[in-house]
Structure 1
Amino acid sequence: MLHDSLKIGSVEGLLSPDEVTRLTACVTDGLGADRRFTVSERRRSVHSLEGESLARVKEVYEPHGRVEYDELPDEITGVLEGAVARRLGELRRIFPTVRRSMDWLYVEYGAGQYVTPHVDYPFNEIAPDRPKVAAIGIVLHKAEAGGEFFVETGGGDALWNDEGEVKEGANDHSPWFNAMRRTRWHVTSRAGDAVCWGTQLVHGTEPVAAGRSGKFIGFLGS
């Protein structure tokens, strides 16, 4: 599993055009015209920092806010899980230990918004014996400019502990993480495409320059 959590791959056209249209309508209905579930106005976040306030968590991960729609209806999760199931063979070529998808949410970024570099980690709080191998991001709509997803790599030892795993605190809250040099690899994909990255890879998004970027994010488990 450790080897799989350091990989990145893609499945183009994971969602059909009809599914993209259907899910876009579902998200529009769920969010409402005012784009509710905006991070700055919510009393929770999908991210956390031990010992830190919610305000600090938001400042570290989404300093200019974003939308987090994290209680998706069955109509949405059913389509996503079905899409993953029918392309599971392709996903397992990249991540052989993957067996299922889980924990879906929708995120959306407007002008100037982004998520800072961080690591998701394999640990599964709900089922500790079934780790999260990789994350999967499925594009619903791209921004007019900016908003690209990226992964970051580094050849030094700063990111790793003695067991060969990513150290705790791989995020902008940690001085050691901010100080380490990393190389950024940008991803270009279309609506309906899926990008998958191991749960020990540093990743984030560039600020949106124009329009709105929306995607579904879930995890692939063993």
Structure 2
Amino acid sequence: MLHDSLKIGSVEGLLDQEEITHLQALISEGMGDGSRFEVADRSRSVHSLAGEGLDRVKEVYEPEGRVEYDELDPAVTKILDDAVARRMSDLQRVFPSARRSMDWLYVEYGAGQYVTPHVDYPFNEIAPDRPKIAALGIVLQEPDSGGSFFVETGGGNELWNESGDIKENANMHSPWFAEMRRTRWHVTCGVGDALCWGTQLVHGTEPVTAGRAGKFIGYLGA
């Protein structure tokens, strides 16, 4: 299971065109103009930092803001769960311990917006005995330019505990993490495609330079 959380994969065409069109309509209806979901104006974030307030969390993770739509219509999550279940055998080729999808969120980035390098971690607060194996990013809207997803790797010991799992606080708030050298691997995929990355992988996105990027983010659970 620990090994699965260090992998990366993809599922092309996870969503068909009918599902894409339906999801685009549901998201547009649910968000309206999107203003109430802008991180800069919200009283919460999906990210957190031990001992730090919300303003610092936003500064570390989304310094230029982004949309976080975490009040998804059950019709949205059903479409996503059904799509993942339909392709679970494909996902299990890379993540054999994965059993289900969960915890969906929609995020959107405008020009200049991005998320900084960080690690999600396998720990599942709701069900500690069922860790989060991998995250999924399913593209709903491609930007005109920029906004690529990346993972970062490093061959040194800085990221790892002696037990073989990743150190706590692997994010830009930690000086040791911000200062360490890492290699960045860029990835792009089309609307309806899914990227899947283990919950112990460093990842983030480059700034969008034109247009808007929209994607669903969820997890594969054991």
Distance across 2 between alignment mates of 1:59 and 1:188: 25
2:98 — aligned with what?
98
Q: Report the AA paired with residue 194 of structure 1.
A: A
1:221 — aligned with what?
221
Secondary structure at the aligned position of 1:209 is classed as strand
Deviation at 1:162, TM superposition (A): 1.3
Q: How does 1:174-193 map to 2 (within 5 A)?
A: 174-193=174-193
Distance across 1 between alignment mates of 2:116 and 2:173: 10
Distance across 2 between alignment mates of 1:135 and 1:15: 16
Q: How does 1:32-71 map to 2 (within 5 A)?
A: 32-71=32-71
Deviation at 1:34, TM superposition (A): 4.3
Identity %: 72
Per-residue deviation, residues 52-78 of structure 1 (Å, max 9, x unmatched): 000000000000000000111111000
Secondary structure at the aligned position of 1:51 is classed as coil
Report how many residues are paired: 222
Q: How does 1:163-174 map to 2 (within 5 A)?
A: 163-174=163-174
Q: Taking structure 2 as the reference length, what is the TM-score of the superposition? A: 0.99
Per-residue deviation, residues 112-146 of structure 1 (Å, max 9, x unmatched): 00000000000000000000000000000110000
Secondary structure at the aligned position of 1:36 is classed as helix
Secondary structure at the aligned position of 2:77 is classed as helix
Asked if 1:25 is matched to 2:25, the reply is yes
The answer for unaligned runs of 5 or more in structure 1 is none
Per-residue deviation, residues 135-180 of structure 1 (Å, max 9, x unmatched): 0000001100000000000100000011111100100000000111
Deviates more, 1:180-189 or 1:33-42: 33-42
Q: Taking structure 1 as the reference length, what is the TM-score of the superposition? A: 0.99
2:115 — aligned with what?
115
Deviation at 1:43, TM superposition (A): 0.4
Deviation at 1:35, TM superposition (A): 3.9
1:9 — aligned with what?
9
1:203 — aligned with what?
203
2:128 — aligned with what?
128
Q: Report the AA paired with residue 37 of structure 1.
A: F
The answer for unaligned runs of 5 or more in structure 2 is none
Distance across 1 between alignment mates of 2:118 and 2:86: 30
Q: Report the AA paired with residue 214 of structure 1.
A: G
Contact kept, 8 Å, 2:149 with 2:205, in 1: the verdict is yes
1:155 — aligned with what?
155
Distance across 2 between alignment mates of 1:115 and 1:188: 15
Deviation at 1:33, TM superposition (A): 2.2
Distance across 1 between alignment mates of 2:165 and 2:56: 26
Q: Report the AA paired with residue 113 of structure 1.
A: Q
Contact kept, 8 Å, 2:34 with 2:67, in 1: the verdict is no
1:86 — aligned with what?
86
Distance across 2 between alignment mates of 1:196 and 1:182: 20
Distance across 2 between alignment mates of 1:120 and 1:172: 13
